[in-house]
């Protein structure tokens, strides 16, 4: 009888404490950093007495996160101005878009930009199923696509290295029923192909190379 | 009757004990951080810190790493600023340099180029020198939006209309969601 009473009391107390726990914390996506170089072919130039010498050249342009925001705006695919906006990717919620920290506005970019992380993955590290503490390093084959609908588009792929960690909850977190945030960061080199609009207005095929990085912290799924 | 009395007494005692612990905890930390800060890992792995610093959209100024010793004044730099990037390039550590160069690419501020050239000239590490020179080359490239602006200006000057926009994403086949 006494043990039943004790269990009841413990349950009631636990329920009481749980009502004091703060709401679950949302993920905090960080900026998505894109640094790509696109190289495309310029028209050949021939010279010589009988046009027997052909000179071939290429031109390179860069795609950065800021460029992508500008392309989104130019194509009416999001906000009307890039001022105050940051390109973000939340690896936990797998959401991509542009956010304005000052206004809180979020513009979904999933119709033009995608990051497919469902490819082959290997990982190492450790996880404690009792405490939730984990620290793991992943290597994932990732495919990233972009298309602004105006002629600038790419698909790049590569191996992205990411780290995922979650500390064991502190005593206060246990008492408050709070799960520690999961933190993910990733970076890697990517290569691929696509098209770019040249300064002459023509759309040219191009090869792409560069890197992407980002991360986030929040509640895991 | 006795079990009811015992249950009531234990419930009251338990509630009081819980309240005492809660009040004591609240008093111990009057400036309890916001829940979001509380839930942040206290000591994220080094890679995570580097990644976060490299990618944060508008990070608050952070203390330069390293434990403070007596007499040290905390040095505060925005890691995404030109000064923050250059400071990291002066520190030892290839990973720190790599992350700083990555941030330089993202910042895309050509005013950093002369300082990068100085650092490249000083470094004896061939790989690092190549990385710095690659970054300089990247910064000197025109951006795709500059290309687009030039193309648009040329069309406008020639009185030509803008080409039609594609209704669907070529990779996914999904329709674009346009704002007008």
Written as six digits, the tokens of B102 are 């990555």
Chain A environment of B165 (Cβ under 8 Å): 75, 149-150
CB proximity under 8 Å: A 165-184 to B: 165-167, 170, 172-173, 175, 178-181, 183-184
Instruction: Note whether A185 contacts B51, CB cutoff 8 Å.
Output: yes
**What would the pLDDT profile of A54-88 be if each residue is shown by its tens digit?**
999 999 999 999 899 999 888 888 778 888 898 99
Is-above-0.95 flag for pTM?
Answer: no
3-state secondary structure of A160: strand
Predicted local distance difference test score (pLDDT) of residue B106? 84
Distance from CA of A9 to the nearest CA of B (A): 6
Inside any domain, residue B174: no
Predicted local distance difference test score (pLDDT) of residue A216? 76
What residues make up the domain containing B144? 45-54+76-157
CB proximity under 8 Å: A 48-77 to B: 60-67, 70-71, 74-77
Predicted confidence band of residue A115 (pLDDT cuts 50, 70, 90): very high
Inside any domain, residue B69: no
Predicted local distance difference test score (pLDDT) of residue B125? 92
Residue pair B80/B59 in contact by the 8 Å Cβ criterion: yes
**What would the pLDDT profile of B94-146 be if each residue is shown by its tens digit?**
989 988 998 899 888 999 999 999 999 999 999 999 999 999 999 999 999 88
Q: How many CB pairs under 8 A join A and B?
A: 216
Inside any domain, residue B21: no
**ipTM field:** 0.73
B140 touches chain A (CB under 8 A): no
Statement: residue A106 has pLDDT above 80: yes
For chain B, how many structural domains are there in total? 1
Predicted local distance difference test score (pLDDT) of residue B73? 53
Inside any domain, residue B33: no
SS3 content of chain A, % helix, strand, coil (to 5): 15, 50, 35
What lies within 8 Å, CB to CB, of A165 at 6+ separation is A134, A135, A136, A182, A183, B41, B44, B45, B48
Statement: residue A148 has pLDDT above 80: yes
Inside any domain, residue A185: yes
Inside any domain, residue A12: no
Nearest alpha-carbon partner for A204 in A42, A51, A46: A42
What residues make up the domain containing A51? 29-216
Statement: residue A104 has pLDDT above 50: yes
A33 touches chain B (CB under 8 A): yes
Q: What is the mean pLDDT of residues A167-187?
A: 87
Instruction: Note whether A147 contacts B141, CB cutoff 8 Å.
Output: no
Chain B environment of A188 (Cβ under 8 Å): none
Statement: residue A19 has pLDDT above 50: no
Statement: residue B29 has pLDDT above 70: no
Predicted local distance difference test score (pLDDT) of residue A16? 38
**What would the pLDDT profile of B38-90 be if each residue is shown by its tens digit?**
333 333 333 333 333 333 333 444 444 444 455 555 567 788 899 999 999 99
Predicted local distance difference test score (pLDDT) of residue B61? 45
Best of A40, A61, A80, A206 to substitute, by most chain B Cβ atoms within 10 angstroms, is A61
Q: Measure the CA–CA gap between A91 and A100, rounded to whole angstroms.
A: 18
Inside any domain, residue A6: no
- Which chain B residue lies closest to A64 (C-alpha atoms)? B106
Distance from CA of A43 to the nearest CA of B (A): 16
Cite the DSSP H helix spans in chain B. 2-28, 35-38, 46-55, 82-90, 94-107, 113-122, 126-140, 144-158
Q: Measure the CA–CA gap between A83 and A99, rounded to whole angstroms.
A: 10
Instruction: Note whether A163 contacts B108, CB cutoff 8 Å.
Output: no
Q: Measure the CA–CA gap between A1 and A6, rounded to whole angstroms.
A: 9
Q: Measure the CA–CA gap between A152 and A85, rounded to whole angstroms.
A: 20
- Which chain B residue lies closest to A65 (C-alpha atoms)? B106
Angle B112-A73-A185 (CA atoms, 0-180°, nearest 5)? 55
- Which chain B residue lies closest to A30 (C-alpha atoms)? B56
Predicted local distance difference test score (pLDDT) of residue A204? 94
3-state secondary structure of A144: strand
For chain A, how many structural domains are there in total? 1
CB proximity under 8 Å: A 121-160 to B: 135, 137, 145, 147, 149-153, 155
CB proximity under 8 Å: B 39-78 to A: 39-45, 47-48, 50-52, 54-58
CA atoms B1, B4, B6, B9: torsion sign: negative
Q: What is the mean pLDDT of residues A25-49?
A: 83
Chain B environment of A25 (Cβ under 8 Å): 35-36, 39
Instruction: Note whether A215 contacts B55, CB cutoff 8 Å.
Output: yes
Inside any domain, residue A195: yes
Inside any domain, residue A4: no
Chain A environment of B53 (Cβ under 8 Å): none
Inside any domain, residue A20: no
Predicted local distance difference test score (pLDDT) of residue A39? 97
- Which chain A residue lies closest to B21 (C-alpha atoms)? A175
Lowest mean pLDDT among A9-18, A56-65, B78-87, B149-158: A9-18
Inside any domain, residue B17: no
Average pLDDT, chain A: 84
């Amino acid at each position: 009888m006494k043990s039943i009473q004790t269990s009841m009391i413990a349950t009631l107390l636990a329920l009481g404490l749980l009502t004091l726990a703060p709401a679950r914390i949302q993920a905090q996506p960080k900026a998505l950093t894109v640094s790509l170089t696109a190289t495309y072919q310029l028209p050949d130039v021939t010279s010589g007495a009988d046009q027997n010498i052909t000179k071939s050249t290429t031109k390179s342009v860069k795609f950065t996160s800021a460029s992508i925001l500008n392309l989104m705006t130019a194509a009416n695919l999001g906000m009307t101005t890039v001022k105050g906006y940051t390109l973000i990717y939340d690896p936990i919620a797998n959401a991509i878009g542009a956010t304005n920290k000052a206004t809180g506005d979020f513009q979904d970019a999933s119709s033009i930009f995608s990051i497919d992380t469902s490819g082959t993955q290997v990982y190492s590290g450790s996880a404690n199923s009792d405490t939730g503490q984990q620290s793991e390093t992943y290597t994932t084959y990732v495919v990233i696509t972009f298309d602004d609908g105006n002629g600038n588009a790419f698909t790049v792929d590569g191996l992205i290295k990411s780290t995922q960690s979650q500390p064991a909850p502190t005593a206060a977190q246990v008492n408050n029923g709070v799960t520690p945030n999961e933190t993910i960061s990733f970076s890697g080199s990517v290569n691929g192909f696509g098209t770019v609009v040249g300064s002459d207005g023509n759309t040219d095929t191009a090869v792409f190379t560069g890197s992407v990085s980002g991360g986030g912290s929040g509640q895991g799924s | 009757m006795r079990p009811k009395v015992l249950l009531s007494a234990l419930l009251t005692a338990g509630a009081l004990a819980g309240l005492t612990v809660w009040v004591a905890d609240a008093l111990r930390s009057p400036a309890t951080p916001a829940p979001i800060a509380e839930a942040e890992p206290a000591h994220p792995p080094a890679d995570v810190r580097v990644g976060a610093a490299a990618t944060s959209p508008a990070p608050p100024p952070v203390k330069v790493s390293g434990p403070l010793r007596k007499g040290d004044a905390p040095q505060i730099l925005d890691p995404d600023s030109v000064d923050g990037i250059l400071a990291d390039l002066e520190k030892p550590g290839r990973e720190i340099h790599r992350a700083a160069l990555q941030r330089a690419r993202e910042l895309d501020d050509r005013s950093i180029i002369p300082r990068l050239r100085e650092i490249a000239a000083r470094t004896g590490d061939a790989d690092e020198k190549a990385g710095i020179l690659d970054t300089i080359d990247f910064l000197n490239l025109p951006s795709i939006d500059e290309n687009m602006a030039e193309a648009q200006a040329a069309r406008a000057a020639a009185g030509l209309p803008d080409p039609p926009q594609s209704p669907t994403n070529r990779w996914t086949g999904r329709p674009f969601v346009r704002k007008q």
